[in-house]
Amino acid sequence: MKLKARAYNPRVRLQILAACFAVFALLLVSRAAWMQLIHRDFYQQQGNARFLRELPIATSRGMIVDRNGEPLAVSTPVESVWANPKELLQAPERMPELAKALGIPRDMLTQRIAQKAKKEFVYLRRHINPDDAQAVVALKIPGVYSTREFRRFYPHGEVMAHVLGFTNVDDLGQEGLELAFNDWLTGKPGSQKIIRDRSGHIVEKVDLIREAQPGKDLALSIDRRIQYLAYRELKSALINAQARSGSAVVIDIKTGEILAMVNQPSYNPNSRESSSPYLHRNRAVTDVIEPGSVIKSITVAAALENGVDPNIRIDTNPGIMTLDKYSIRDTTNHGVVSLEGLLQMSSNIGAAKLAQNMSNAHLYDVLHRFGYGQSTNSGFPGESAGVLSPPRNWGPVEKATISYGYGLSVTPLQIAQAYATLANHGRMMTPTFVKAEDKKTGTQVMDPAIADEVLAMLESVTNPGGTAQKAAITGYRVGGKTGTSRKFNAGGYSKRHISLFAGVVPLTDPKFAMVVVINEPAGHDYYGGLVSAPVFHNVMEGALRLMDVPPDNIAAWYETKKPVPAAAVNPVPMAAAVPAAGNEEIIPDDAVVPGVQP
């Protein structure tokens, strides 16, 4: 039986096709609804990840100025060229052109890009002139862009280097006050949303997320004029004395503000990469020395506080004394001396005899009160506290050597603080590098009458017959103390010296305290009074003029000055002695020193 073919019905086919299209349309609408309504955030994020970027807004670091508002450290705008390696590697034929524009070898550029091939960011050149950066970007090499940054600039170069320190390539403090006040100086970068096209160009700024906040400015206590004077004179002294290094510190006595702090040799913080790292440390606060005779003023103050008669006469004949089989020598036989004469002629024997008549605890206490053996709390990074051993470890020999400046280690800043305390009527002010806005009271560490008495005695050191006549300044009363100590090494005390002078001016109304330390002078003259005292004279003479400090009324002072009685009162017992010998103001080879056998 033959089957009859089904008749063709085009309407049914159309209905089937329409149903299929309807189903597909429903699926598309459902998918679109799923993407745009239900999972909208996810797909929005995916889209933003391809075109929307968060662009940082660079901000400048706070400026550092001196006490008069003169700029010492400023941040200047620069450009840094960077690349997206994934994009740049798609145009390898443009590498030579890019390398030439950047001024770097082609091989180095190719290697850097290859190492970061899977990254989306790599710096090509940082901190270059904005015009040069724009010239590179103008080449329109795929994946090459530039961004705004800031670079630190130090107008005074090596003169301020050790105080200010420097920042790294990311403008963060690495040394000095740049490091100490990094949080204060560092600004907070801003941020904004932008839309980039497929070539990386900004086509729209969408939204400001966070405004950039520049760093806060910092006003220092440093006076750039006095700083320059100190730097110039210290450098000149080192050249003349053929010395290895040196430091100088100037302090405002009444406020504790550090007006100048310099070191030699120095370095240029604008191109520090070419200098050795050991040059970067601030020797005035990080390096310690044995102070030698400059400590004798504190020894005299301790004796007076211990009840010694101010008119006492000390017999130093015949210029050498023995103590536990050790020898203590003076430069020459000074005979019978007063306390003022002890300081004027820098008698080691006189200082040792004063120490014999006071307890270990008392001498230690006075030295500690004047800041030795502890940090000055200046806030400078890496500051050393020095070394002052506990009094229980002192024997008669150790106490004697400490009384004239051996067996303890101090920083130049600690010496400056101690002399400023004497000149401030025994009131210690904390040294500070920041300009003082409020008047501080300080800490009274000694009876004002005793401090004033010792300070008056120190004037004899700069008068005729004293060891620091070169520190005298015409029209001003100057007090101070010299020191010339031998350097200690593994085999004992060497013939290398440290020359020091610590002084105060003017004595009628003390304004400045200054310490000068010159390390290892190689010339014929190596005594503190000949090498360091002239630096004090030159710097202070200029500072007094710059700060309009009136001269002392010398005539009236001479009329009221009371002479020291000539009669001997309560002489200090003298130890057994042997014939005298030795060199001026230095500790001789067989003198009483830690670690040296008789």
Active-site residue list? 293
Give the largest Cα separation in the chain, rounded: 164
Q: 3-state DSSP call for residue 342?
A: helix
- Closest among 111, 86, 90, 88 to 98, alpha carbons compared: 88
Distance CA 476, CA 479 (A): 10
Q: Which two tokens stand for residue 81?
A: 């060229």
Are 194 and 147 in contact, with CB atoms under 8 Å apart?
A: no
DSSP letters spanning 381-425: TT----B---GGG--HHHHHHHHTT-S-BB-HHHHHHHHHHHHTT
Q: Find the Cα–Cα–Cα–Cα dihedral 177, 182, 183, 189, rounded to 10°.
A: 140
Q: 3-state DSSP call for residue 571?
A: coil
Cα distances (Å, whole numbers) of residue 139 to 105, 117, 126, 135, 262: 18, 21, 18, 7, 48
Are 89 and 117 in contact, with CB atoms under 8 Å apart?
A: yes
Amino acid at 409: S
Residue 505 φ/ψ, nearest 5 degrees = -155, 145
Q: Is the dihedral of CA 485, 487, 488, 493 positive or negative?
A: negative
Residue for token pair 């001396």: 337
Residue for token pair 């203590």: 328
Are 186 and 215 in contact, with CB atoms under 8 Å apart?
A: yes
Q: How many CB atoms lie within 10 A of CB 46?
A: 9
Report the chain's C-alpha Rg in angstroms.
Answer: 37
Q: How many CB atoms lie within 10 A of CB 257?
A: 22
Distance CA 485, CA 456 (A): 24
Are 78 and 132 in contact, with CB atoms under 8 Å apart?
A: no
How deeply is 495 buried, as exposed, middle or buried, from its count of CB atoms within 10 A (0-12, 13-18, 19+)? exposed
Q: 3-state DSSP call for residue 125?
A: strand
* Angle between helices 95-102 and 130-137 in degrees, nearest 10: 170
- Closest among 125, 214, 177, 118 to 381, alpha carbons compared: 177
- The β-bridge relationship of strands 218-219 and 64-65 is parallel
How deeply is 87 buried, as exposed, middle or buried, from its count of CB atoms within 10 A (0-12, 13-18, 19+)? middle
Q: How many CB atoms lie within 10 A of CB 158?
A: 20
User: Which residues lie closer than 8 Å to 439 by C-beta, 6 or more apart?
Assistant: 255
User: Which residues lie closer than 8 Å to 100 by C-beta, 6 or more apart?
Assistant: none
